[in-house]
């Protein structure tokens, strides 16, 4: 942690306080019980500044994992402000670097222990799960259960972009991502997701619903996907394959649409026209370009949620 982070945090705190609704601009805006506690405006202002700095600083210290008693924090702050610090700037920096290294070491030990525990729990779960009725295991170790077979004949290949609904959970049942929760299907390029998804969805025909039990090695591995997915986590995904983009699908948004060959006139509502909105003429060539840009964006894989591939 670098000392200037506190300065940034303080600036943000002061800015937020200044812009807060009802922020006092003069003495008359303050209740008498507050004014009576101080001898002057300067004293009151200084006390409030100190309190805000302390609140921001202590919150950040605790969040970053530093173990420091409040009296030591107060002493360091007071002596530094009064230019009576027993440490120089360079010495303060060295102490911070030493403490930061220790915190990182402890966090790494904690992460490693958690990962080892998750790996053992995952292996035990998969060993018991594979014997359950309806559960199948592939050569890679991926386990799946067919909830519903679709009527569609098409199955995706690794180069396809699929349209699906899904819900992902940890072994304790905690949901870490869901397209159902977001209220709209997701689109993923199968060669840009975790290995368990790439393999598993190629087993499904359009309209199918499967449950996948994905070992850590076919998911996010030792690193996980913080903060929602710890390292070495075995994951469960309920997946409903709605369609394959550009192929037969139950999702109209994924089906190829007829090409637009004429211009489109976009007429604003009466209210928008009164506000100054103009009638637009969208050329067919521009419409196709915009459509391709939108499709390209839909095909992108989310970076932090869902089954996005993690670089090793």
Among residues 144, 188, 210, 237, the one annotated as catalytic is 237
- Positive or negative, the Cα torsion across 240, 243, 248, 254? positive
Is 125 marked active-site?
no
Helix ranges (H only) for 131-248 are 179-182, 195-201
Locus of tokens 């869901």: 178
Is 176 marked active-site?
yes
Distance set, CA 123 to CA 119, 216, 218 (Å): 6, 9, 13
Among residues 213, 220, 229, 244, the one annotated as catalytic is 220
CA atoms of 148 and 145, how far apart (whole Å): 9
Long-range contacts of 47-55 (CB under 8 A, 24+ apart): 49/14, 52/10, 52/13, 52/14, 52/17, 53/6, 53/10, 53/13, 53/77, 55/13
Among residues 144, 188, 194, 214, the one annotated as catalytic is 194
Asked whether the beta carbons of 206 and 220 are under 8 A apart, the reply is: no
Is 55 marked active-site?
no
Among residues 177, 188, 210, 214, the one annotated as catalytic is 177
Is 177 marked active-site?
yes
Asked whether the beta carbons of 253 and 245 are under 8 A apart, the reply is: no
Is 166 marked active-site?
yes
Q: Is 24 helix (H, G, I), strand (E, B) or coil?
A: coil
Among residues 53, 144, 160, 166, the one annotated as catalytic is 166
Structure tokens at 140: 């890679």
Q: Which of 262, 309, 258, 311 is nearest to 282 (CA)?
A: 262
Is 38 marked active-site?
no
CA atoms of 155 and 157, how far apart (whole Å): 7
Among residues 96, 125, 176, 238, the one annotated as catalytic is 176
**What residues are annotated to the active site?**
166, 176-177, 194, 220, 237
């Amino acid at each position: 942690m670098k000392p200037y982070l506190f300065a940034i945090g303080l600036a943000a705190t002061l800015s937020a306080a200044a812009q807060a609704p009802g922020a006092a601009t003069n003495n008359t805006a303050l209740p008498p019980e507050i004014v009576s506690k101080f001898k002057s405006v300067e004293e009151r202002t200084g006390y409030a500044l100190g309190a805000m700095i302390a609140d921001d600083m202590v919150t950040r210290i605790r969040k970053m994992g530093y173990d420091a008693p409040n009296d030591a924090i107060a002493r360091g702050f007071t002596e530094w402000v009064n230019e009576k610090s027993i440490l120089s700037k360079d010495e303060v920096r060295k102490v911070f670097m030493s403490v930061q290294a220790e915190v990182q070491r402890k966090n790494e030990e904690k992460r490693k222990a958690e990962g080892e525990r998750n790996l053992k729990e995952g292996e035990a779960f998969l060993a018991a799960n594979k014997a359950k009725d309806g559960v199948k295991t592939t050569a890679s170790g991926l386990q799946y259960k067919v909830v519903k077979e679709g009527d569609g004949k098409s199955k995706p290949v690794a180069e396809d972009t699929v349209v699906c609904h899904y819900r992902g959970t940890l072994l304790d049942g905690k949901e870490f991502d869901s397209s159902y929760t977001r209220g709209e299907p997701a689109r993923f390029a199968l060669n840009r997701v975790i290995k368990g998804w790439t393999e598993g969805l190629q087993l499904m025909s359009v309209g199918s619903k499967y449950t996948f039990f994905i070992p850590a090695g076919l998911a996010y591995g030792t690193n996980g996907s913080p903060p929602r997915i710890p390292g070495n986590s075995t994951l469960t995904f309920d997946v409903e394959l709605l369609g394959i983009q550009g192929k037969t699908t139950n999702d109209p948004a994924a089906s190829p649409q007829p090409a637009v060959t004429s211009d489109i006139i976009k007429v604003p509502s009466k209210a928008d026209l009164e506000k100054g909105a103009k009638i637009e003429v969208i050329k067919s060539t521009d419409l196709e370009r915009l459509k391709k840009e939108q499709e390209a964006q839909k095909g992108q894989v989310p970076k932090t949620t869902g089954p996005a591939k993690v670089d090793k």
